[in-house]
Amino acid sequence: MVEPDRLIRLAHTRPTLTQHPPVRIADLYLQRGGQYILRDITANLGLSDVTAIMGPNGAGKTQLLRLIAGLGQPDSGTIKFAWPDAPEKHRIALVFQRPVLLRRSALANLTHALAQYGVTRTRRTARAMELLDFGGLTDRANIPARALSGGEQQRLTLVRALGAAPDLLLLDEPTSNLDPRSTAAIEALIQRATAQGVRVILVTHDIGQARRLAKDILFLQDGQVAEHSPAPQFFDTPTSAQAAAYLRGELYL
Partner 1 sequence: MQDFTAAFRAALDLVFRMDADLMEIVGLSLLVSGAAVTLACVIGFPLGAALGAGRFAGRMPLLVLVNAAMGLPPVVVGLTLYLLLSRAGPLGPLDLLYTPTAMILAQTVLVTPIVAAITAQIVADLSEEYRDLFATMGMRRTAQAATLMWDGRFALTTAVLAGAGRALAEVGAVVIVGGNIDHVTRVMTTAIALETSRGALELALGLGLILLTLSLGINAALMGVRAAARRLSDG
Binding residue for partner 1 (CB under 8 A) from 6, 14, 103, 121? 103
147 touching partner 1, by CB under 8 A:
yes
Q: How far is the CB of 31 from partner 1 (least distance, A)?
A: 20
**Is 209 within 8 Å of 217 (Cβ atoms)?**
no
Q: Report the C-alpha gap between 28 and 40 in whole angstroms.
A: 5
67 touching partner 1, by CB under 8 A:
no
Using alpha carbons, select from 192, 186, 185 the residue that is nearest to residue 174.
186
Q: Return the amino acid letter for 242.
A: Q
Binding residue for partner 1 (CB under 8 A) from 38, 54, 94, 202? 94
Q: Report the C-alpha gap between 155 and 158 in whole angstroms.
A: 5
Q: How far is the CB of 112 from partner 1 (least distance, A)?
A: 7
- In whole angstroms, how far apart are CA 73 and each of 65, 69, 200, 204? 12, 10, 21, 23
Q: How far is the CB of 147 from partner 1 (least distance, A)?
A: 3
A 10 A CB-CB count for 210 gives 20
- Judged by CB under 8 A, the stretch of 25-33, 105-113, 220-228, 229-237 that binds partner 1 is 105-113
204 touching partner 1, by CB under 8 A:
no
15 touching partner 1, by CB under 8 A:
no
Residue with Cβ nearer partner 1 (77 or 144):
144
Binding residue for partner 1 (CB under 8 A) from 2, 71, 86, 126? 71
Helix (H, G, I), strand (E, B) or coil at 229: strand
Binding residue for partner 1 (CB under 8 A) from 25, 54, 145, 165? 145
102 touching partner 1, by CB under 8 A:
yes
Q: How far is the CB of 69 from partner 1 (least distance, A)?
A: 6
| CB-facing half-sphere around the CA of 66: CA atoms within 13 A | 13
Q: How far is the CB of 239 from partner 1 (least distance, A)?
A: 34
Q: Report the C-alpha gap between 202 and 207 in whole angstroms.
A: 12
- In whole angstroms, how far apart are CA 126 and each of 9, 17, 121, 123, 154? 15, 34, 10, 6, 21
In eight-state DSSP terms, residue 104 is S
24 touching partner 1, by CB under 8 A:
no
Q: How far is the CB of 113 from partner 1 (least distance, A)?
A: 6
Residue 41: strand pairing partners? 28
Apex CA 61: angle with CA 36 and CA 253, to 5°? 65
Residue with Cβ nearer partner 1 (49 or 172):
172
Residues touching partner 1: how many (CB under 8 A)?
25
Interface residues toward partner 1, by CB under 8 A: 66, 69-71, 92-94, 96, 100, 102-105, 108, 112-113, 116-117, 143-148, 164
